[in-house]
Amino acid sequence: MLVCMSHQGVAQSKKRKANKDTKEWRYDLSCEGIAKQGSKLVKVWSYSKSPKFAIAQAKKNAVHGIIFKGFAGGGAGCTSFKPLYDEPSIKEDHEAFFELLFKDGGAYMKYVSSATDGNIAAGDRLKISKKEYKIGLVVDVLTDQLRKKLEAEGIIKGLNSGF
């Protein structure tokens, strides 16, 4: 029973660490190609002591990245993408919304899906130190739906707001 509890404790601690990394922008986002209309195909690189947690955190990081980070253009016809929330820091009255959106199993799951059924290519599983992995996962983020949600919540302005 004690072993079981300690396992749970370690898992919780890793989860907390992964969430902290997301908040501190400790992930990388790059464009993987042209997705269908209204979505973005991105590869998100997450860091964790355990590959399992990095994979679990990848979807959250991808949605976080589309909202707050954006990505540079590159090959495969990719153009640069400005983040949806273009403020220097999160405004106080938006904090509650984002807390809810990014809580474990939160609403962010509605806006992202794994493009490769969760499979990681061999070159995308990197052991960067004795204790840490860097895992790259390709996901599809429904940017149009996400943008509309943020507009509806009054967090970002729509193109027609004010007219």
Partner 1 sequence: MKKYIILVLSIVLLQSYTSSAQAKKPTIMIVPSDVWCNQNGYMQRYNNQGAIVSIPDYKRAFQENAEVLQVISQINGMMADRGFPLKNMESAIKTLEANAAEDNMRTSKETGAAVNESPIDALKKVAKADVIMQLTWTVNKTGPKKSITFNLQGLDAYTDKQVATATGTGAPSFSAETPVLLSEAVISHIDNFTASLQTHFDDMFENGREIIVRIQKWDDWDGDLEKEYGDEELGTIIEDWMAENTLKGRFSTTDMTEDMALFEQVRIPLLNEKGRAIDARKFVKKLSKMLKKEPYMIPNKLVMKGLGRATIILGSK
* Residues at the site binding partner 1, with contacts judged by CB under 8 A: 33-38, 73, 75-82, 143-144, 157-160, 162-163
Whole-number minimum distance, CB 119 to partner 1, in Å?
A: 23
Work out how close the CB of 87 gets to partner 1 at its nearest, in angstroms, rounded to a whole number: 12
**CB closer to partner 1, 54 vs 84:** 84
Least distance to partner 1 from the beta carbon of 54, Å? Answer: 28
Which residue bears the tokens 């947690």?
A: 53
Q: Which of 125, 116, 138 is nearest to 50 (CA)?
A: 125
Q: Which is nearer to partner 1, 84 or 112 (CB)?
A: 84
Q: How far is the CB of 29 from partner 1 (least distance, A)?
A: 15
Per DSSP, the three-state class of 81 is strand
For residues 108 and 105, give the distance between their C-alpha atoms in angstroms, rounded to a whole number: 8
Smallest gap from residue 85 Cβ to partner 1 (A): 12
Angstrom distance (rounded) from CA 153 to CA 100: 13
- SS3 label, residue 18: helix
Nearer to partner 1, 41 or 120 (CB): 41
- Answer yes or no: are the C-beta atoms of 5 and 96 closer than 8 Å: no
- For residue 120, give the nearest of 66, 62, 61, 44 by alpha carbon: 44
- Kindly tell me which of 76 and 121 has the beta carbon lying closer to partner 1: 76
Tell me whether residue 21 or residue 32 sits nearer to partner 1 (CB atom): 32
